[in-house]
Amino acid sequence: MERLRIGLIGCGTVGGQVYKILKRKRRNLYWKTGILFEVVKVCDKAKKRRKELKIPSSLFTTDPHQVTNDPNIDIIVELIGGTEEAFEYLCEAIKKGKSVVTANKALLSEKGRTIFDLCEENRVYIGFEASVAGSIPIIKTIRESFIGNNFSKLLGILNGTTNFILSKMTHLDIDFNQALKIAKEKGYAEAEPYFDISGLDSAHKLSILTKLAFNKSVSWRNIYTEGIDRIEKMDVEFARELGYRVKLLGIAKKDRNILELRVHPVLLPATHLLSLVEDVYNAIYIEGDLIGNSLLYGKGAGGKPAASAVISDLVEIGMKLKMKNYGNMKFREDSTLELLPFDEIKTKYYFRFTAVDKPGVLAKIAKVLGEKNISIASVIQKKESPQKAVPIVMLTHPSKEKNVSEALKIIDKLDIIKKPTIKIRVEEEDGNI
């Protein structure tokens, strides 16, 4: 085979770029690979795309099944997002013996295992580099480049929108809503940014990385996920004062056969490389027994970076199809691995209590913490608030999540406490970066 006949479903931000780049770089890609990457059918439910992208009428359809069922197509690129329809089209294509490329993190984090199994059964390839962190080659790096490693830890800034908001809060000294507004104006946040802000988008991506790095299928539904909307300007400032930055991280840690997964804002030492990842950039920090630690950094979103990843998948699968015999690395499942219940995690904490400005307040809080075995590492208490309620900021030594939530439940009911306490976990076992 010297031609790879491509069917493209969805030509929005990413799909549109894929179409344009394949056209513009066709000759260059042929020169590099010996393969002619030819888009033979394009589907989008929005008819206007045809004109916008100058797609010949003969290639364009609004019916996805015309793509998935076309016997002249070798590979389907699905870039519509959403889970139900995308799942239907992918399965249809795979069953017809077509390889697939997708950027659909929601779908893979929910039905990855089913889709991977279906691909192996039908002896077709699947590429999904664009599903996590845009142009950053984290999928290939974990699956191939670091294949000799056993991983112990992965920390990822996996969502550009939330990283942009936190960056702006840190450097422009503005609050969450102001930062969100800028993000929307710049096109970095959608009109309805719930999936980003809530951490769910990061959880989808962490689920996919977990499958690859730890050979374990875990739906995003089973990953503890907390967003950034409760972080106030004040927390970002206190964090700075204490030598930290606030970041939304996807966290995976493995200790023997116990796997710990979570997505939430953290205080990260200001000197950690991940603390220096600003704006819409993404980065993944990973530790393995051979590599030590490593970091990959780049653009996590946007048409061109994601298209770059899609094209690398197309080339890889094109090269494999050219060799005719099927040969794929299996998606393995490690049945010995168990998930750590979230209550059992142990980490340092940042607390911000909002308390009345009276003597003895700190003693009352400290008493509850002591009873729950939570030991205090440092306290910042700001005096003389005009509102008669002052923030008390505390860093703890490593403590159990269960004890912390129990303690905060009790503390928040004390009459000296004026608002629900803000709790941010601190990520810094070992300053080895």
Size of the site for a copy of itself (CB under 8 A): 56
Q: Is 380 in the site for a copy of itself (CB under 8 A)?
A: no
| Catalytic residue check, 205 | yes
From 333, 277, 298, 325, select the one nearest 114 (Cα to Cα): 333
Stretch that binds a copy of itself, among 54-62, 233-241, 302-310, 371-379 (CB under 8 A): 302-310
From 351, 332, 346, 358, select the one nearest 401 (Cα to Cα): 346
How many Cα atoms within 13 Å fall on the side-chain side of residue 185? 7
Q: Which amino acid is at 91?
A: C
H or E stretch at 188: none
Minimum gap (Å) between residue 127 Cβ and a copy of itself = 11
Residue 194 or 326: the one with the smaller Cβ distance to a copy of itself is 326
Q: Is 16 in the site for a copy of itself (CB under 8 A)?
A: no
Name every residue whose Cβ is closer than 8 Å to that of residue 94 and which is 6 or more positions away in sequence. 100, 115, 118, 119, 122, 124, 126
Asked if residues 245 and 325 have their Cβ atoms less than 8 Å apart, the reply is no
Residue 309 or 393: the one with the smaller Cβ distance to a copy of itself is 309
Q: Of 326-355, which residues contact a copy of itself (CB under 8 A)?
A: 326-327, 329-330, 332
Asked if residues 355 and 365 have their Cβ atoms less than 8 Å apart, the reply is yes
Minimum gap (Å) between residue 151 Cβ and a copy of itself = 12
Minimum gap (Å) between residue 91 Cβ and a copy of itself = 25
Minimum gap (Å) between residue 432 Cβ and a copy of itself = 11
Query: Exactly one of 3, 23, 25, 346 binds a copy of itself (CB under 8 A); which one?
Result: 25
Give CA–CA dist 311/29, Å, rounded: 10
Minimum gap (Å) between residue 387 Cβ and a copy of itself = 37
Q: Of 117-146, which residues contact a copy of itself (CB under 8 A)?
A: 129, 135-137, 140-141, 144-146
Q: Of 84-103, which residues contact a copy of itself (CB under 8 A)?
A: none
Q: Is 210 in the site for a copy of itself (CB under 8 A)?
A: no
The one-character DSSP state at 184 is H
Question: Rg of the chain's alpha carbons, rounded to an integer?
Answer: 24
Q: Of 63-82, which residues contact a copy of itself (CB under 8 A)?
A: none
Q: Is 161 in the site for a copy of itself (CB under 8 A)?
A: no
Minimum gap (Å) between residue 294 Cβ and a copy of itself = 4
Residue 187 or 370: the one with the smaller Cβ distance to a copy of itself is 187
Q: Is 27 in the site for a copy of itself (CB under 8 A)?
A: no
Place of tokens 């936190």: 166
Residue 141 or 161: the one with the smaller Cβ distance to a copy of itself is 141
Minimum gap (Å) between residue 278 Cβ and a copy of itself = 9
Stretch that binds a copy of itself, among 48-56, 109-117, 312-320, 361-369 (CB under 8 A): 312-320
Q: Of 168-207, which residues contact a copy of itself (CB under 8 A)?
A: none
Give CA–CA dist 244/305, Å, rounded: 30
Q: Is 309 in the site for a copy of itself (CB under 8 A)?
A: yes
From 429, 376, 113, 101, select the one nearest 260 (Cα to Cα): 429
Q: Is 163 in the site for a copy of itself (CB under 8 A)?
A: no
Q: Angle formed by the axes of helices 401-413 and 361-371, to 10°?
A: 140
According to DSSP, the β-strands at 281-288 and 258-269 are: unpaired
Residue 283 or 411: the one with the smaller Cβ distance to a copy of itself is 283
Give CA–CA dist 39/10, Å, rounded: 13
Asked if residues 19 and 55 have their Cβ atoms less than 8 Å apart, the reply is yes
Q: Is 293 in the site for a copy of itself (CB under 8 A)?
A: yes
Asked if residues 280 and 297 have their Cβ atoms less than 8 Å apart, the reply is no
Instruction: Out of 41, 98, 105, 205, pick the active-site residue.
Output: 205
Query: Exactly one of 59, 182, 291, 416 binds a copy of itself (CB under 8 A); which one?
Result: 291
Query: To 5 degrees, how large is the angle CA 39–CA 45–CA 51?
Result: 60
Query: Exactly one of 29, 107, 126, 267 binds a copy of itself (CB under 8 A); which one?
Result: 29
Minimum gap (Å) between residue 319 Cβ and a copy of itself = 6
Asked if residues 42 and 19 have their Cβ atoms less than 8 Å apart, the reply is yes
Give CA–CA dist 304/297, Å, rounded: 16
Asked if residues 208 and 109 have their Cβ atoms less than 8 Å apart, the reply is yes
Chain residues that interact with a copy of itself, rule: CB under 8 A: 21, 25, 28-29, 31-34, 129, 135-137, 140-141, 144-150, 273, 276, 288-299, 302, 304-305, 307-309, 311-312, 315-316, 319-320, 322-327, 329-330, 332
Residue numbers annotated as active site: 205
